[in-house]
């Protein structure tokens, strides 16, 4: 009975109310401290850094108390200046906290070099063209010269120069094809000679 009376006494009720008030105050102060320590109210809009070089990026982010980190270089994009930003995370317009890192992907200085395969000579045009295109090359002019094989690739050329198997060219380089015309003739040392086994036999008969 004594405990029951104490629970419903004014003293206990006053203590309960005071305890509740103290709990509310402590909770409020804790939330305020968390907001302050984690910068919950601070929001910085991420700027658009596309096509900016690193000097401009660094200056722009310093103004906003943001940092950056370079992730990697991507495949060369001719629509962007060399060594400029082509991608960023977070994206422009996102809200972030102070000192947040912006992760950048840069445009390299140019297309990477690709090795010309060593098994293209004497292959047909229908085999060679898809192979070169799949590697990132472009097909330029197609010319013919006398040869026994029709449409067989005799030479690869780039800007007029002969391309040897294993040579490295920039991606998107234009490669010209020199094909055989199927005439049954060969060209060697800039002179055309016929494949003349029958004529040899005739000449041997003439000698007799």
The arithmetic mean of pLDDT across residues 120-147, rounded, is 95
Task: Name the strand (E) or helix (H) holding 61.
Answer: helix 54-63
187 or 206, greater pLDDT: 187
- In angstroms, the CA 1 to CA 132 distance is 98
31 confidence band (pLDDT: 50, 70, 90): confident
141 confidence band (pLDDT: 50, 70, 90): very high
Query: 95-122 b/e with 16+ CB inside 10 Å = b?
Result: ebeeebebebebbeeebeebebeeebee
Domains in the chain (CATH in brackets) are: 44-106 (3.30.10.20), 113-193 (3.30.10.20)
Quick one: what percent of the chain has pLDDT higher than 90? 53
Task: Name the strand (E) or helix (H) holding 86.
Answer: strand 85-89
- In angstroms, the CA 141 to CA 161 distance is 13
pTM: 0.50
- In angstroms, the CA 190 to CA 167 distance is 24
41 confidence band (pLDDT: 50, 70, 90): low
Long-range contacts of 190-193 (CB under 8 A, 24+ apart): 192/146
């Amino acid at each position: 009975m004594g405990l029951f009376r104490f629970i419903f006494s004014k003293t206990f009720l006053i203590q309960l109310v005071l305890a509740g008030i103290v709990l509310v105050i402590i909770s409020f102060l804790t939330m305020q401290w968390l907001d302050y320590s984690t910068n919950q109210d601070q929001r910085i809009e991420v700027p658009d850094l596309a096509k900016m070089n690193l000097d401009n990026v660094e200056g722009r982010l310093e103004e906003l108390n943001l940092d950056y980190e370079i992730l990697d270089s991507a495949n060369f994009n001719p629509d962007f200046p060399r060594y400029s930003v082509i991608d960023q995370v977070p994206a422009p317009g996102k809200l972030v906290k102070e000192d947040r890192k912006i992760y950048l992907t840069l445009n390299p200085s140019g297309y990477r070099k690709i090795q010309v395969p060593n098994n293209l000579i004497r292959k047909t045009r229908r085999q060679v063209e898809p192979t070169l295109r799949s590697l990132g090359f472009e097909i330029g002019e197609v010319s013919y010269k006398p040869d026994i094989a029709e449409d067989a690739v005799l030479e690869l050329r780039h800007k007029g120069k002969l391309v040897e198997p294993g040579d490295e060219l920039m991606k998107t380089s234009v490669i010209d094809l020199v094909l055989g015309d199927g005439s049954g003739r060969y060209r060697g040392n800039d002179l055309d000679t016929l494949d003349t086994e029958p004529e040899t036999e005739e000449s041997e008969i003439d000698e007799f």
